[in-house]
Amino acid sequence: MAIVLPERTATAVDTLTPRQIVVELDKYVVGQAKAKRAVAIALRNRIRRQRLPLEIAEEVTPKNILMIGPTGVGKTEIARRLARLAQSPFVKVEASKFTEVGYVGRDVEAMVRDLVEIAADMVRAEQADEVRDKARHAAEERLLDLLLPPARPAVPGEAAAAPFGGAVQAEPGGRTRERMREQLHDGRLDDRVVELDVRDTAMPSFEVIAGSSVEEIGLNLKDMMGHLFQGRAKTRRLRVPEALAHLVAEEQTRLVDMESVSRTAVQRVEQSGIIFIDEIDKIASRDALGGAGHGPDVSREGVQRDILPIVEGTTVNTKHGMVKTDHILFIAAGAFHVSKPSDLIPELQGRFPIRVELDPLTRDDFVRILTEPRNALVTQYVALLGTEAVTVSFTPAAIERIADFAARVNESSENIGARRLHTVMERLLDEVSFEAPDLGRQAIAIDEAYVDRMLADIVRNDDLSRYIL
C-alpha cells in the first residue's frame, strides 16, 4: 500500500532526479554545490518515501540539514527555491526570535502554526482556481439580475420597458437576458453602475487569553462563533467590472470547501512541509559564547530544548487541526562565527545529521550573481528602468568592476556576501533611477568609467563604506 498525498500524484516534481534538482537550483543560486546536493537528495528521498508501503514509510524520517556559512551566501535562497520547486509549504523563522516556555514572546510551536496557515492559503488558492469558471458564471447571473429590472405581470396593450430607459417591443425575458449577457461580455456595460450589498469584513479582534502562551490559548471569537460576526452589509455603487470582480470573489469563497482546505493543508504540511530555522547559532549555549549561564536573558539552551520536540516529532494544535511534525523537513542555518555546531545541545545536534558548509563568495562569484541567475540583479535593473523607456546596458568590464568594488567593500568592512551587491547597485544607478522619468527615450551604457565615477568614493572613504550595507 503506497502513500498517496492529496493533489501530489503524477506531478512534474516527482520525476526530477537529484541531478535535475541541482540544475533547477543553479538557475537561481550561484555556486554552493555541496548544499544543493544535500537538499536535492533530501527532496528525492521524500519522493521515494511516498512510493513505499505505508508501514515502512511511517518509519522513514527526513534527514534534516544544518547549513553552516556566513551571511549572504545563499542558505535561505536554496531552501526557498527548493520549496517552490517541490510545491511545498515553506516558512522561514529566526531561532533568536523564540523564547523559552514561561517567558513572554513567541513559543516554538508558532513555526508549525505559521506553516499550516501558509499551506491553507496555498490550498485555498488552488481550489479557488478550480471553481473560477463556475464562480464567474454564478456571478454573471447575479449581476444580470441587478442589471435587469424585476419582471412584472404584463398589461394588455402596454409596451415593455427597456432595461435602461426607452420603449422596446415586448420579447421573451430569456432573449433580453442573453442580449444583456452579450453586452456584458463585449464590455459595452462597463460604464454602468449597479448597487451591490457589500459585507463589511472589518471587525474588532477579540481574544480569550489564558494559560502560559498567548499563541497556544488565544482564540479568535470569529473562528469560535462561525458566521455570527460577519460584519454589516453596506450598499455600495460600483461600476460593472468592479461589481463582477466582487461577486466572483464571493462565489469562489462560497464554493470553496473550507473543511477540505483545512484537511488538505494539514496533510500537506505533515508530508511535504519545510521549515527553515535561521540563526540557530544565536541560541547556542551561553557558556560557549562566554556568558555566565545566568541572568535576566532568556536561556538559549531552554529555547533549544523547546525546539527539540518539534524537530523530533510531536503533535501541535492549530486552528486547522492537530499536526504531526514527524515528517516535516527542517533545514537549519547559522554563521557559527562565535559558536560552533557542537555548542548546541547533543540531542538537537543529533536531529540534524546532514551538515554542509557553504563557501564564502568571491569576486568571480559576484560576477556570476550579477548576470547568470534568472533573477540576476542586472536583469532586474534593466527591466525596471525599461518601464521608463530608458534602455540601460552594462559592458562586461563594468560588471567586473562592480563585482570588484563589492568584494573590496566586503573585505574592508563587514562581509555580508551577495547582499552587498544590492546596495552597491543602488548607489551605482542612483542618478539614473532618479532622472529616468525625465529622460524620455534614451539609451544609457554603463561602462567601467561610469562605475569608477559612481563608486570610487565608497572604497576611498572607509567610514563611508561602512554605510553601504
Per residue in 183-209, pLDDT (tens digit) is 888 888 888 888 887 776 554 544 444
User: For residue 395, which phi and psi values (nearest 5 degrees)?
Assistant: -80, 155
Cell numbers found for residue 158: 402596454
From residue 250, give the alpha-carbon distance in Å to each of 139, 178, 187. Answer: 8, 23, 21
d(CA 98, CA 301): 12
The predicted pLDDT at position 89 comes to 92
From residue 189, give the alpha-carbon distance in Å to each of 180, 242, 316. Answer: 9, 12, 52
Q: Could you tell me if 307 and 360 are in contact, meaning their C-beta atoms sit under 8 angstroms apart? A: no
Helix residue ranges, H only, 351-442: 363-371, 377-386, 396-412, 419-428, 430-439
Hey, where are the domains in the chain?
12-125+264-357, 132-150+171-255, 363-467
- Secondary structure class of 446 (helix, strand, coil): strand
d(CA 186, CA 192): 13
The predicted pLDDT at position 16 comes to 85
Domain with residues 12-125+264-357, CATH architecture: 3-Layer(aba) Sandwich (3.40)
Ordered DSSP codes for 314-376: -EEEETTEEEE-TT-EEEEEE--SSS-GGGS-HHHHHT--EEEEPPPP-HHHHHHHHHSSTT-
The predicted pLDDT at position 71 comes to 85
- Secondary structure class of 258 (helix, strand, coil): helix
Whether the pLDDT of residue 361 is over 90: the answer is: no
What type of residue sits at position 369?
Answer: I
Whether the pLDDT of residue 457 is over 80: the answer is: no
- For 95-150, write each residue's pLDDT tens digit: 888 876 555 557 888 999 999 999 999 999 998 888 888 988 888 888 888 888 66
Topology (CATH) of 363-467 = Helicase, Ruva Protein; domain 3 (1.10.8)
Which H or E run contains 253? Answer: helix 240-255
From residue 337, give the alpha-carbon distance in Å to each of 163, 185, 280, 346, 362. Answer: 75, 62, 12, 19, 18
Neighbours of 281 (CB within 10 A): 24
The predicted pLDDT at position 216 comes to 45
pLDDT band for 36, please (50, 70, 90 cuts). Answer: very high
Whether the pLDDT of residue 291 is over 60: the answer is: no
- Secondary structure class of 463 (helix, strand, coil): helix
Of 121, 93, 51, 18, the closest CA to residue 271 belongs to 51
pLDDT above 90: percentage of residues in the chain: 22
Neighbours of 332 (CB within 10 A): 27
Q: Could you tell me if 446 and 385 are in contact, meaning their C-beta atoms sit under 8 angstroms apart? A: no
**The whole model's pTM is what?**
0.77
299: DSSP letter: P
